[in-house]
């Protein structure tokens, strides 16, 4: 009987140690993957913001008809203002450039 109890006790210790180690490994992996995912999302957001900034800063390509081009530029300018991208002063300055050109 003492041999049986010793075997059971040894198995319990091994199982408890294995469970503790396994839990620690899982926590480390979860933290590592969470950090990695946060970096990926941050990089995606930064790239998206840069891309949107470049698109807004790029001048509109000239088209064949000047009147529809001017109208399209004014519509785009109005959308940027309504989205809060442009301030009133910036809107007026860009509108004056479009109407003068």
Distances (CA, A) of 62 to 6, 13, 29, 65, 66: 88, 78, 53, 8, 8
The total of structural domains in the chain comes to 2
Classify burial at 67, counting beta carbons within 10 Å of its beta carbon; exposed 0-12, middle 13-18, buried 19 or more: exposed
Q: State whether 21 and 49 are in the same domain.
A: yes
d(CA 35, CA 33): 5
Q: State whether 52 and 74 are in the same domain.
A: no
Q: State whether 42 and 87 are in the same domain.
A: no
pTM of the model: 0.35
Segment 9-43, tens digit of pLDDT: 888 888 888 787 788 888 888 888 888 888 888 88
- Closest residue by Cα to residue 99 from 61, 63, 64, 67: 67
Q: State whether 47 and 67 are in the same domain.
A: no
**What is the extent of the structural domain holding 75?**
62-101
Q: State whether 93 and 51 are in the same domain.
A: no
């Amino acid at each position: 009987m003492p041999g049986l109890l010793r075997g059971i006790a040894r198995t319990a210790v091994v199982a408890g140690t294995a469970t503790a180690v396994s839990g620690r490994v899982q926590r480390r992996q979860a933290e590592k993957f969470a950090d990695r995912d946060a970096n990926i999302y941050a990089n995606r957001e930064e790239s998206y913001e840069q891309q949107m900034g470049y698109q807004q800063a790029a001048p509109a390509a000239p088209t064949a008809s000047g009147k529809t081009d001017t109208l399209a530029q004014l519509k785009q300018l109005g959308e940027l203002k309504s989205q809060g991208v442009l301030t009133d002063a910036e809107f007026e300055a860009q509108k004056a450039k479009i109407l003068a050109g």
